[in-house]
Structure formats: structure tokens, C-alpha cells
Chain A
């Protein structure tokens, strides 16, 4: 096996090789560092690469494993985290030069749990500044654009774009991202990998810098569904230091991966096809849903009329919560921010409290209607994004007769589930003109198992996840 093949192996496969001492964590980190060095000029996935620190950690892991202290499937696996997860002793920039030299003195809960599981932080991943927006215009990125491994002239998607491109390009074993309106799932869909935004409260947000208290969720970004389950096993669970953390039992997610969807009732909201969607993406996703039917699931059209209000609700919530989260920054250092970002942060200061409360009331109706769908079906499915990756620098795209902003399109199927807080996963389900298309699978609250089960069965029956960008 050559070095490139090694870097593209799934975490589950790498884990077996490490546990069996067929490869050492040092060799693995060395291979990934070489690949990062080779690809970074084209991808720009990282803000900080931790070469020496990662090699030190790999040597420690190698010794532990040699001494019979194997910690589990993430032991010795190199990973990255979006550069808004606090990392002890490693600068955490939030994607803005304003924080270029800020070095936290503790780890976020999720990074701490991954380190405890033996994973090796090989670098901090690039992102849209403050993880706000997913805008592709020139000038927006303080640390440069993030490029799509399938075509570096295209966006990798935001805001966890560096995490997405690094995982898809085999620069890491897996990544952590954060998702306020699709920011884990967009780059996963556009880069052809698996991304899960679990139920709100399932993963600790402590030390994951807040953009919106009520919409933010961390999420694992992986090359396979099984890898996603493995990472979830390491990071899920109650965190008493996070007020929004749910004190709920955590299952072994890998046990849900039965390869079987027989009897599952899958709902396809008709409203998903009443908004602009590229015809090829639509066709690809419908084919994937047919594949799930062929595997034994039943497919039902369902209706969710309030879906069309998602943008009003999420816009108001994000404007206000984002403004509150970054009020001090924008008041004291606003001139250091890209102007459209600065204006959105400032604008939230002018939205009335009454409008915000009404958005939260509307959210209740919105969620109630969505939850009612789950009395009829076990899962909702549809496209992850209505378009594939677009050119860097292009902020608008035409679908049919409609000119729309790329960000508005990318979030139209994903942001609704930040409002509901329900678990939502994207996985590759085909290609359009050589670019990945994502299938979204949504489940009931705290039922990530069924989401992973359906995604795994589909993945097992297809080979989209095995395709690699030819970098």
C-alpha cells in the first residue's frame, strides 16, 4: 500500500492496522504530514499545522500501544478540528486575524474527549471568519479561501470548509466541525464525505466558540458512516459544564450499523421540491431514495407547509444571537472584520426583542409540525444542498429563472434542522458533472442510531464513498 492509499483508508481500517501493530501512529502521522505539505498550496485546509506536536503525540501513542495500553479505535488516528474549538496551548483564531495570536489554556470538551480516546490533533482547520455565513466572495477569508479537493477552483463549502476539504483529500483521518445553519453538512456534501449534526444537546458545546446558543451544534466529519459512529462513540455524552448538554444515555453507535433498512418508513417532504433545486441534483437524490426503497424501506411523500418559514426564523435567531455573542468584538474591533460580516453582526443589535421572541414562538410551531411528521415516518430524506460546489468568488447562481445567493441555496435544506435541533446527516449519493451530491437523512430527537443505520445501509449498497478526488 502506498502512502496516498494509506491516507485515504477509513478510520475503522486504520484502527485495525494500528491495533495489530501493522502500522505505527508515527508512520501514519508522517504520511499525513507529507500529504498536507503536498496539498496545502492547493487546498488551504489548515490555519495551523502541528507537525512537531503531532509527532510527539504519535510517539507517545506508539509506546502506549506497544506496552499493551491500546485505548480504542481512535488511538493514534490523526484528526483536525475547526479552528473555533479551543485547543490548549494551540492558537484558536476563529478564522479572523483579530485572534491570530490567541492561545487558550484549556481544551474544548470534544477535543479533550478525542485526546482521551487517543486521537492526535494534527492541525487546526480553516473556516469562514467567526463561522458566520458561508459567503464565497473574495476578501472574506482572513486565512485565504478553502478549496474543494474535487476541483480546487471551487469552494469546499462553509463554514467548516477546511475540515471538509482536509477529510475529503485524505489530509486527516477525520475532523470536527460546527454547524449553525449547515456548516458541517455543507462542506461534507460539496466534498463528498459524511457529516452528522447530532441532536442539539447530544454533543458538548463547551469550548466550541458560540455563534448562536440555540442553533449551534458540533459534528463529526468522516469518510464513512462507520467512522462517524466511531467518532460519536468517543465524543457523545453529558457534559455538566455545558448548560445545553443533555443528560441522556449514549448508545454504542456502531451497533446500529446493521446494514438493513427493511421496514423503515422514509418521508420525503414535498416542500423540498418547491424551492429551487438543480435538476441533476434532484434526479440524483431521487435515485438514491429509490435505492433505499429497493433495500427494503418504504417511501412516503409528506407535507410540512411551515418549512417555508425556516429562513425568516433562522435569520432572526442568528442575527440576534450572533450580535449578542460578538457584541464586544464588533463594538471594539469591528473595523478588523470583513464589512458584510461586520454589518450582519451589527444589524442584530437593531432587531427588536419582540421580533426575536416572535421568531422563537414561530419556532415552536415549526418544530411541532416537523415532529408530527415523525408520527408517520421514521426518517426524513432529501437533498443536502440543491447545487454542487460553485466557483470561488461567485456569490450568485441561476437555477431556472431564479438568481439566488449561493449561501441561501446551500442552507435551504439544512438550516431547518438547526431550528428543530433534530439529528441530520449528509452522505455522498452520486455525482453531477464530476462533483459530489449529498443525500440528507434526518431522524427523531436523540435517535442518531436510526439515521446512521439508514446511511450505513445505503453506503454499503453503493460505492460513492469509495471515489477519491484525483489531486
Chain B
């Protein structure tokens, strides 16, 4: 898990994802992610919103006010809820 998304990591990941890192919008996205990612991991107390990021901070708080930490749950031995299809072919062997 990336604890803190620094600018270099952001650029690397954005490029890998296929986003245009030269788009001026990327600055807003970076600020948004610095708020959002700790929040969805239940690590919001680690979040440090600067004054320029305050509107995004407010936006995320308002839209996701009740997030709880998934990491609080005991997930040991739990298969994820995903569709697994067995390989096709003979099953009688």
C-alpha cells in the first residue's frame, strides 16, 4: 500500500494508467487523490489538507462521510466475492 502519494509516484502511476500527465487538470487530480486515497483506506487522520486543497477535502468529507476501515475486519481465510470459472475441459479425470 502506498502510504503517501508523492508527486513522482503520482506521475508514474498516471502515466502507467494512460492519463495525460501534461494536462493542467492533473494538479487537481493529484490534490484529490491525496485526500481520497487515505480516506478510502480509513486513514484520514494521516491526511494533511493544505488550504488550497480544502475544497476537495470538504467535497470528499461530504460525499463519503461514513467510511469505515475495511482493515478493521478479520479477512483471514475469506475468498473474495468474485466469479471464478473453472477451466473448461474434461472433469471426469
Contact A351-B37, Cβ < 8 Å, known A363-B80, A405-B62: yes
Interface residues of A in 383-408 (CB under 8 A from B): 395-396, 402-405, 407-408
With CB as the reference atom, state the residue of chain B lying closest to A311: B66
Contact A365-B25, Cβ < 8 Å, known A309-B70, A312-B69, A360-B82: no
Residues in A with CB closer than 8 Å to B66 are: 275, 308, 311, 408, 412
A-B CB contacts (within 8 Å), total count: 119
- Whether A365 lies near B80 (C-beta < 8 A) is no
Residues in B with CB closer than 8 Å to A306 are: 73
Residues in A with CB closer than 8 Å to B2 are: 352
Residues in B with CB closer than 8 Å to A363 are: 80-81
Query: Within the complex, what minimum Cβ distance (angstroms) separates A140 from chain B?
Result: 13
- Chain B interfacial residues counted at CB < 8 A: 40
Q: Which of A7-15, A252-260, A341-349 contacts B (4 or more CB under 8 A)?
A: A341-349
Assess whether A51 is interfacial by the CB under 8 Å rule: no
Query: Within the complex, what minimum Cβ distance (angstroms) separates A180 from chain B?
Result: 15
Question: In the complex, A244 Cα to B63 Cα: how many Å?
Answer: 30
Contact A347-B64, Cβ < 8 Å, known A331-B17, A361-B79, A362-B73: no
Assess whether A357 is interfacial by the CB under 8 Å rule: yes
Question: In the complex, A350 Cα to B66 Cα: how many Å?
Answer: 21
With CB as the reference atom, state the residue of chain B lying closest to A316: B40
Task: Classify the interface of chain A: helix, strand, loop or mixed.
Answer: helix
Cβ 8 A contact of B5, one of A243, A349, A350: A350
Q: Which of A35-43, A231-239, A332-340 contacts B (4 or more CB under 8 A)?
A: A332-340
Assess whether A245 is interfacial by the CB under 8 Å rule: no
Interface residues of B in 60-93 (CB under 8 A from A): 62-71, 73, 75, 78-83
Contact A364-B41, Cβ < 8 Å, known A312-B68, A327-B17: no
- Whether A331 lies near B81 (C-beta < 8 A) is no
- Whether B75 lies near A311 (C-beta < 8 A) is no
Assess whether A367 is interfacial by the CB under 8 Å rule: yes
Residues in A with CB closer than 8 Å to B70 are: 309, 312-313, 316, 355, 358-359, 362
Question: In the complex, A355 Cα to B78 Cα: how many Å?
Answer: 14
Cβ 8 A contact of A312, one of B36, B40, B78, B83: B40
Assess whether A354 is interfacial by the CB under 8 Å rule: yes
With CB as the reference atom, state the residue of chain B lying closest to A402: B65
Assess whether A48 is interfacial by the CB under 8 Å rule: no
Residues in A with CB closer than 8 Å to B1 are: 352, 354-355
Query: Within the complex, what minimum Cβ distance (angstroms) separates B10 from chain A?
Result: 8
Question: In the complex, A342 Cα to B23 Cα: how many Å?
Answer: 13
Assess whether A61 is interfacial by the CB under 8 Å rule: no
- Whether B62 lies near A312 (C-beta < 8 A) is no
Contact A331-B59, Cβ < 8 Å, known A309-B73, A365-B75: no
Residues in A with CB closer than 8 Å to B81 are: 214, 360-361, 363-364, 367
Cβ 8 A contact of B32, one of A343, A357, A365, A404: A343
With CB as the reference atom, state the residue of chain B lying closest to A342: B25
With CB as the reference atom, state the residue of chain B lying closest to A360: B80
- Whether A315 lies near B40 (C-beta < 8 A) is yes
With CB as the reference atom, state the residue of chain B lying closest to A328: B18
With CB as the reference atom, state the residue of chain B lying closest to A317: B81
Cβ 8 A contact of A311, one of B17, B67, B82: B67
Assess whether A319 is interfacial by the CB under 8 Å rule: yes
Assess whether B28 is interfacial by the CB under 8 Å rule: yes
- Whether B32 lies near A331 (C-beta < 8 A) is no
Query: Within the complex, what minimum Cβ distance (angstroms) separates B48 from chain A?
Result: 18
- Whether B62 lies near A404 (C-beta < 8 A) is yes
Residues in B with CB closer than 8 Å to A311 are: 64, 66-68
- Whether B79 lies near A364 (C-beta < 8 A) is yes
Residues in A with CB closer than 8 Å to B42 are: 312
- Whether A315 lies near B67 (C-beta < 8 A) is yes
Question: In the complex, A244 Cα to B29 Cα: how many Å?
Answer: 33
Contact A339-B62, Cβ < 8 Å, known A319-B40, A350-B17, A364-B79: no
- Cβ-closest 4 pairs across A and B: A360-B80, A405-B62, A349-B17, A331-B18
Q: Mark A residues whose CB is within 8 Å of B.
A: 214, 243-244, 275, 306, 308-309, 311-313, 315-316, 319, 327, 330-331, 334-335, 339-340, 342-343, 346-347, 349-352, 354-355, 357-365, 367, 395-396, 402-405, 407-408, 412
**Mind listing 13 A-B residue pairs with CB under 8 Å?**
A311-B64, A312-B67, A316-B40, A319-B40, A330-B19, A331-B18, A343-B32, A358-B70, A358-B71, A364-B79, A403-B62, A404-B65, A412-B66
